[in-house]
Structures are given as C-alpha cells and as structure tokens.
Amino acid sequence: MKRNDIPKAIESGKTVLGIEFGSTRIKAALIGEDHTPIASGSFGWENQYENGIWTYSLEDVWSGLQESHRKLSNQVFKNYDTPLQTIGAIGFSGMMHGYLAIDKDGNLLVPFRTWRNTITGQAARELTDLFQFNIPQRWSIAHLYQVILNKEPHVKDISYLTTLAGYVHWKLTGQKVMGLGEASGMFPIDSRTDDYDARMIALFNEKIEAENFSWKLQDILPQVLTAGDAAGVLTEEGVRLLDPMEQLQAGILLCPPEGDAGTGMVATNSVAERTGNVSAGTSVFAMIVLEKALSKVYPEIDMVTTPAGKPVAMVHSNNCTSDLNAWIGLFQEFTDALGVEINESKLFEILYQRALAGEADGGGLLAYPYLSGEHITHFEEGRPLFVRTPESRFTLSNFMRVHLFSALGALRIGLDILFEEEQVKIDQVLGHGGFFKTEEVGQKIMAAAMNVPVSVMETAGEGGAWGIALLASYMLNKEENEPLEDYLSNKVFAGKKGTTIAPDPADVDGFMAFMERYKKGLVIERAAVNAMS
C-alpha cells in the first residue's frame, strides 16, 4: 500500500483493527487493504499470583486496552495527519481458556482465572473419563466443574461463562459469542456441526443434575461462530470502553473473538491440513492441523480446531521463556553493576547467540523452567531449577543452550506422541513468538527439538494482533464461499518471504541426549516442589 494512499484509507474506513490480550502485552495493530500494518500500540502487563490463583485485574484489562488504542490512534495522527474515527472492522483475541464467570447483572463473580492455573486436576480427570475426550486443566469447562466440586457458592449465580477475548467482545458489543477456535478451548466441538458437542453437553448436565442449579450448561456458554461470520457492532458503551475520548464512531463491525492459538495459526498461514505452527513465549504450544482423528485419547494432547473448524492437535506447555528471561534479567543487573550500558534487546541477542557455541547436549547441565505447574509432566506446581554435577561443563554457552533446550522439554514429550505413536505428518512448521526474535537461534533450537524444518516468515513478529486483524479482514472482504486457507494463501501470504532452517543432525542427537537427562531428572523437580512449599 503506497504511503500517499493510507490517509484516504484511514478516513474512509478501509482499515481493520486487531487487538490481542497476550500474557505480557496487550497489542493493537491497524492494517490496510493490503493487510500490512499501518500503526500499532501496546501496553505491558503481567499476571499476578493472588490467593493461589494466577489472574489479571479487570482494571488492567480496560486501562491496557485504552492505552494500546490511544497509542495507536496517536501514531496514526502523527504519521498520516488523519484522525482515526472509523474502521472497517475490529477483532479481539486473547489468551485461550480460563474462567470468567458473570452474574445476571454483568458482574464478575470471582477474579479471572487464567490458563496458567493448574488447580483443576480432579475436574479434568473426571471429565476426560466422562466424555472419553481429553479435557486439559486449562479449559473453561474444567474450571467450571472444579468450582462445582469445590462447592464454591458463586456457581449458582452464573449467568454467562466466557474467556478473556469473549468478555471484552461482549462488553463492547453486547454479543455473547465466541469464535470456533476459541470455543474449542472452552468445551469440545462436534466437527460435523461446528458447535459444542451435544452428547457431551447432555452428559455434563446429567452429571451436575443433583446440584439443582437454575442453569443448564448450554444456557451459560457463548454462541459459537465460525471464521467469516459477523459478530455484532461496536456500541456507544463499547466506544467509551475502548476510546474514552470518543473519537471512534459506534456501529463498526466486529468479527468473532478468537484465542491466541487461532490467531497464531492465521498469522503463520497454518490453517490447512498437514501444516503446523509453534508459538513460543511465556508458554509454548505446537498446533498441527490433522488429516484424520487420533486413534485414542491422550491427556497430553488437546483437540481443538482452527477458526474455520478443521481439527487440530495441540501440545501446550505452561512454561517456556519466563525463567530464561529471569536469568537474563540477572545478567542485566550484573552489567548495570559494572557500569556497562547495554540495552535488553542486545543482551538477549548476545546470550542467545552464545547457545549456538555450546556443546550439542548442553555439557551435562540440566534445567527446569517450571515457574508454574506443568500438566504434561504432571506437576501441579512449579519450582524453577538449575542442576549440574561436578563433571558437567559449566560454561556460559552450555548454560544458555540448556535453558533454551529446557524451555522446549515438556513440549517435546507431547510431540513424541503425535510423531511416534500416531505417525502424524506435517509439511511445514512455522514459528512465532519471542523465542524466535534472535535471528536463527530459536529456529535452530526448535528444529533440533522437533526434528523438522522450522520456518519463520518476515511477518512472524506481527503476532496475534495481526492474526485477529486478518480474521476481521476475512469477514469483511472474503468472496462468497471462499475458504479461510485460500484467502490467506492467495491474498495475504502470496509473495511473503521467510527463512527455513532444517534440523542439524548433531543438534538433534544433542537434544535427545538432553531429553534423557530431562526425563530422569524430573524426580529432582518433584523433590523441590515437595520440599519448598
């Protein structure tokens, strides 16, 4: 899109806005008719661990949303001398899963419980057995059933159950709806109907019948919409929540709210069969679009869908770079103490690059980045650990390499099920997230961990805000009966450049040696959890 054409596009509403609530940042991205970003704004935030619950405050939700939009609007006016008063369409995305329970008056009944919580083990096990379908601890239905098991008094007052993206969308439009991909992380989806599985809904209602709640499950879940559906318009109240200056006009069309997994698939053009993507940041998850159903239920594998409804096997690890970031923060403190000025981005780059000089297996070192619990390895709580023996080669390069390896350790355990037991085939894996910011390093480590070539597109840094903007654009601009994968391949990603790194056999062997150490050392992590309460 030519720069001279952008002001007219902004003025005439030929733009699309995507906003994603990520784990460490709320980001807004405005794109033009050619799907390229025009402006952006962001707000940094962090989850809090309060009373045994990982949560975010609603005050931060709204202040972060408004600040992100304000920065984006200011950037638009500064760069193009045009106020942002109307937009073709808007989309909201957020961290999948979790628990936001609302009463009939629209009030939050208990603090928001995020995907990071591992407090629903009993519920997840019982529901998996009931449905014969894996229900991970993160899923909204697991949270709901756990609070029923816990006899929490608020349950009887639930009028609406949703996720973070669904909550924001509802407040801005009045519509209790959910995109199909996000809905598949709340409750199992029937791929024949692109709706909640009716048989499992009935089983759940029967399971809780003795509780005599005034609601049935289908009454409190959001309506499921597929990619391309319209999902309401921005109301006057929504304008005030998004843009307190009320520069924006009401009536702007919104697409269905989606989860970060769905927007990650879209942002990497990984919505067709035999494609996969891996998102690596605070958490890490790999998503592979399947050709056929898995042969049985695996507690390590989530079955979700693309925003258009194709079945997806998802391997999700709660912990990825948080502990690594803490170590780099320690190095930053050291450089500051020395009086050496070096910005954080450069320090990350230097230390990540050192990992490539390390021994293939990390020199006998071992680490666990478990800041929180890890369901794949069956930990309800986490204790970040670094372990070595007197014989380990304790160098900076090995230290960094092992921490990058360990960020993917739990992920690899889940992937082994897909690649070895189910013989799942993929033609490409695309990476995105902070793990890949330093050129080549994240790709080489991920290629070793997955033993498949890993590509990073030039657009990978745009992330989920861009992904949900693309979904809003698809709703607005698709041709009749045009599949999402065709729209992305032909109109968004055609001609886009990227880099692909194939796995180095020495790296693959080194990672496998590390994984043997990682699996054997899980007893150390267990001892730390038991001893350090």
pLDDT tens digits along 355-367: 999 999 999 999 9
111 backbone dihedrals φ, ψ, rounded to 5° = -55, 145
Segment 333-344 mean pLDDT: 95
Is the pLDDT score of 232 beyond 90?
A: yes
Of the ranges 221-235, 268-282, 423-437, the best mean pLDDT one: 221-235
Q: Could you report the per-residue pLDDT of 75-89, keeping only the tens digit for each?
A: 999 999 999 999 999
Query: What are the DSSP E strand ranges found in 383-481?
Result: 385-387, 428-432, 454-457
- One-letter amino acid at 111 equals P
DSSP 236: H
- How many structural domains comprise the chain? 1
Instruction: Kindly state whether residue 341 falls inside one of the protein's structural domains.
Output: yes
Instruction: Give dist(CA 442, CA 437) in Å, integer.
Output: 7
Segment 312-324 mean pLDDT: 93
Q: How many residues make up the chain in this entry?
A: 533
Three-point CA angle 326, 332, 337, nearest 5°: 130
421's CB contacts (< 8 A; 6+ apart) are none
Q: Could you report the per-residue pLDDT of 423-433, keeping only the tens digit for each?
A: 998 887 999 88
Per the CB < 8 A criterion, the answer to whether 107 and 134 are in contact is no
Query: For position 427, what pLDDT does the model report?
Result: 81
Segment 479-485 mean pLDDT: 94
Residue 337 sits in which domain range?
322-406+506-531
- Give percent of the chain with pLDDT exceeding 70: 99
- Give percent of the chain with pLDDT exceeding 90: 86
Q: Could you report the per-residue pLDDT of 112-121, keeping only the tens digit for each?
A: 999 989 899 9
Query: For position 118, what pLDDT does the model report?
Result: 87
Of the ranges 265-269, 372-376, 528-532, the best mean pLDDT one: 528-532
461 pLDDT tier (thresholds 50, 70, 90):
low
Instruction: Kindly state whether residue 519 falls inside one of the protein's structural domains.
Output: yes
Alpha-carbon torsion angle 532, 283, 280, 260, nearest 10: -170
Instruction: Kindly state whether residue 263 falls inside one of the protein's structural domains.
Output: no
Whose tokens are 């380990």? That residue is 392
Instruction: Kindly state whether residue 377 falls inside one of the protein's structural domains.
Output: yes
Q: Could you report the per-residue pLDDT of 147-183, keeping only the tens digit for each?
A: 999 999 999 999 999 999 999 999 999 999 999 999 9
Biggest CA pair distance of the chain: 68
Instruction: Kindly state whether residue 429 falls inside one of the protein's structural domains.
Output: no
Q: If we measure between CA atoms, which residue out of 276, 258, 267 comes closest to residue 462?
A: 267
Query: For position 282, what pLDDT does the model report?
Result: 87
DSSP track, 436-455:
G-STTHHHHHHHHHHTS-EE
Distances in Å between the Cα of 24 and the Cα atoms of 282, 288, 351, 445, 528 are 8, 25, 21, 23, 27
Query: For position 129, what pLDDT does the model report?
Result: 96
Is the pLDDT score of 16 beyond 80?
A: yes
Instruction: Kindly state whether residue 231 falls inside one of the protein's structural domains.
Output: no
Give Rg (Cα) of the chain.
23
Query: For position 186, what pLDDT does the model report?
Result: 97
Segment 46-54 mean pLDDT: 93
Instruction: Give dist(CA 154, CA 213) in Å, integer.
Output: 11
Distances in Å between the Cα of 182 and the Cα atoms of 1, 96, 140, 261, 533 are 31, 6, 10, 8, 34
Instruction: Kindly state whether residue 511 falls inside one of the protein's structural domains.
Output: yes
State both tokens at 197: 């599985």
Instruction: Kindly state whether residue 365 falls inside one of the protein's structural domains.
Output: yes
Instruction: Give dist(CA 259, CA 182) in Å, integer.
Output: 5
Instruction: Give dist(CA 307, CA 301) in Å, integer.
Output: 18
